[in-house]
Structures are given as structure tokens and as C-alpha cells.
Amino acid sequence: MAVSAQNAPSSDEELIRKLVHERVEGIRARDAERAMAGVAADVRSFDVVNPLQNAGAASARRRAEVWFSSFDGPIGVEVKDLHVAAAGGVGFSYAFQRYTGRKRDGGAIDMWVRTTVCYRKIDGAWKITHEHQSVPFDPETGRASLALAP
């Protein structure tokens, strides 16, 4: 465990933490422009819900807009256990994210999601090239586990 980057946060790690928090602010405000600012044009996303994958920033943005518009008011976002690593133009982060809010259909949402994000430094700026968000499922019932907390 002698790798210095593992102990001391680099400025690249700080830049990625800033990007994570910028996206969170964009989600809270239901501002797709802001939430998607750090996403690479050729991003590949594995989302919490179907389908298996989404390709490209335009697709990711449309999905965000549909999701944002399903809320009545702001979206609550809590980030827990954020880990970040970055070196030489390659980075990753992972964390738990809690989403809360009132939906337009009258329901409420309060769920913890696992999120892993992969970054490349492109033309001097960190960009999200891959994102994986999910909940696990219960093999006894086949149902997604929407009520687990870290």
C-alpha cells in the first residue's frame, strides 16, 4: 500500500470531487445543463432502470430531463462514502447517493443508489466517460431492493 496517490489527495482528485458536487447541485435544481456539464459526448451509462445501457450524452440528457420533470419540486440528493482516485488522465469515483422528493403522480421517492463513475481527462478537463448506477435485487423475490440504506 505504498502508492502515495492513495494517501494524499491530488489536485485531480479534488477536481473530480468538485465535478461530483456540481452534478449533485444540477440534480437538486433539476437543471439538466448543469447536471450534464461534465459528461463526455460518447459516455456509456448503466442506469438504475431499464434498458441495459444508454450511449451518448444526448441520450443521457434526455433521460435526465424526463426524470427531473417527474418531480414536483426540488430533488433531494445526499452523497455518502465518496471515494475518488485519479492519476495520469484516468479517474474513478464511487459512493452511495440518496434521492428524495415528491413525484408529480402524488407519490414520494426515498431511495439509496450505488454509483460508480469513470473519468478521462480530455483536452485538459475531466469528463465522465462511463457511469454505473444501480440497486441490488432480492434473489428470493426477483424484486429490486429500493429500501436499503448504507
| Binding region for a copy of itself (CB under 8 A) | 1-3, 5-6, 44, 46-53, 83, 85-92, 94, 96, 112, 114, 116, 118, 120-123, 129-130, 132, 134-139, 142-146, 148-150
CB atoms within 10 A of CB 69: 11
Q: Which is nearer to a copy of itself, 33 or 66 (CB)?
A: 66
d(CA 31, CA 24): 10
The C-alpha cell of 130 is what? 462511463
Q: Which is nearer to a copy of itself, 25 or 53 (CB)?
A: 53
Q: How far is the CB of 58 from a copy of itself (least distance, A)?
A: 17
Q: How far is the CB of 98 from a copy of itself (least distance, A)?
A: 11
Q: Given the C-alpha cell 413525484, which residue does it identify?
A: 103
φ and ψ of 33, to 5 deg: -55, -50
Q: Which is nearer to a copy of itself, 33 or 138 (CB)?
A: 138
The C-alpha cell of 149 is what? 440504506
Q: Which is nearer to a copy of itself, 27 or 118 (CB)?
A: 118
Sign of dihedral through CA atoms 44, 47, 52, 58?
negative
